[in-house]
Amino acid sequence: MKNFLSAEARGLAPYTPGEQPRDQQYIKLNTNESPFPPSLKVVKALSRAELLKLNLYSDPACTQLNAAIAAHYGLHPANVISGNGSDEILAFAFRAFCGAGQPVAYADVTYSFYQSQAALFGLEAKVIPLREDFTLNVDDYMDFPGAIVIANPNAPTGMAVPRQDIQRLLEANPDRVVIVDEAYVDFGGESCVPMIFRYDNLLVTQTMSKSRQLAGGRVGFALGGEALIEALNRVKYSFNPYNINRLSLIAGTAAMEDDAYFQSCCETVRKNRAWLVEELEGLGFAVLPSSANFVFARCGRLPGGELYRRLKESGILVRWFDRERVRDFVRITVGSMEQIGALVDELARMLEEL
Name the residue nearer to ligand PLP (CB basis): 86 or 272. Answer: 86
| Enclosing H/E stretch for 106 | strand 104-107
Name the residue nearer to ligand PLP (CB basis): 215 or 342. Answer: 215
Q: Using an 8 Å Cβ cutoff, are 235 and 95 in contact?
A: yes
Sign, CA dihedral 66-178-84-212, equals: negative
Q: Closest distance between ligand PLP and the C-beta of residue 190, in Å?
A: 16
Q: Closest distance between ligand PLP and the C-beta of residue 318, in Å?
A: 15
- Is residue 232 part of the contact set for ligand PLP (CB under 6 A)? no
- Is residue 130 part of the contact set for ligand PLP (CB under 6 A)? no
Give the residue from 104, 134, 160 showing the smallest Cα distance to 324.
134
Name the residue nearer to ligand PLP (CB basis): 293 or 339. Answer: 293
d(CA 23, CA 31): 17
List the one residue from 181, 186, 190, 257 that touches ligand PLP (CB under 6 A).
181
Stretch that binds ligand PLP, among 11-19, 85-93, 242-250, 336-344 (CB under 6 A): 85-93
Q: Closest distance between ligand PLP and the C-beta of residue 33, in Å?
A: 9
List the one residue from 151, 235, 244, 287 that touches ligand PLP (CB under 6 A).
151
d(CA 191, CA 152): 8
d(CA 273, CA 188): 11
Q: Which residues contact 58 (CB under 8 A, 6 or more apart)?
A: 242, 244, 245, 246, 249
d(CA 294, CA 317): 13
| Enclosing H/E stretch for 80 | strand 80-83
Number of residue whose CB is nearest ligand PLP? 85
Q: Closest distance between ligand PLP and the C-beta of residue 187, in Å?
A: 12
List the one residue from 35, 38, 220, 225 that touches ligand PLP (CB under 6 A).
220
List the one residue from 38, 77, 85, 158 that touches ligand PLP (CB under 6 A).
85
List the one residue from 58, 86, 243, 291 that touches ligand PLP (CB under 6 A).
86
- Is residue 243 part of the contact set for ligand PLP (CB under 6 A)? no
Q: Closest distance between ligand PLP and the C-beta of residue 207, in Å?
A: 3
Q: Using an 8 Å Cβ cutoff, are 297 and 287 in contact?
A: yes
- Is residue 111 part of the contact set for ligand PLP (CB under 6 A)? yes
Instruction: Return the SS3 of 224.
Output: strand
Give the residue from 158, 182, 184, 131 showing the smallest Cα distance to 280.
158
End-to-end, the C-alpha distance of the chain in Å comes to 49
- Is residue 87 part of the contact set for ligand PLP (CB under 6 A)? yes
Q: Closest distance between ligand PLP and the C-beta of residue 158, in Å?
A: 10
User: In this structure, what are the phi and psi dihedrals at residue 108, rounded to the nearest 5 degrees?
Assistant: -75, -35
- Is residue 209 part of the contact set for ligand PLP (CB under 6 A)? yes
Name the residue nearer to ligand PLP (CB basis): 149 or 170. Answer: 149
Give the residue from 288, 327, 325, 289 showing the smallest Cα distance to 305.
327
List the one residue from 207, 211, 290, 291 that touches ligand PLP (CB under 6 A).
207
- Tell which positions 300-329 bind ligand PLP, by CB under 6 A: none
Sign, CA dihedral 32-29-325-288, equals: positive
Name the residue nearer to ligand PLP (CB basis): 33 or 279. Answer: 33
> Which residues here bind ligand PLP, judged by CB under 6 A?
85-87, 111, 151, 155, 181, 183, 207, 209, 215, 220
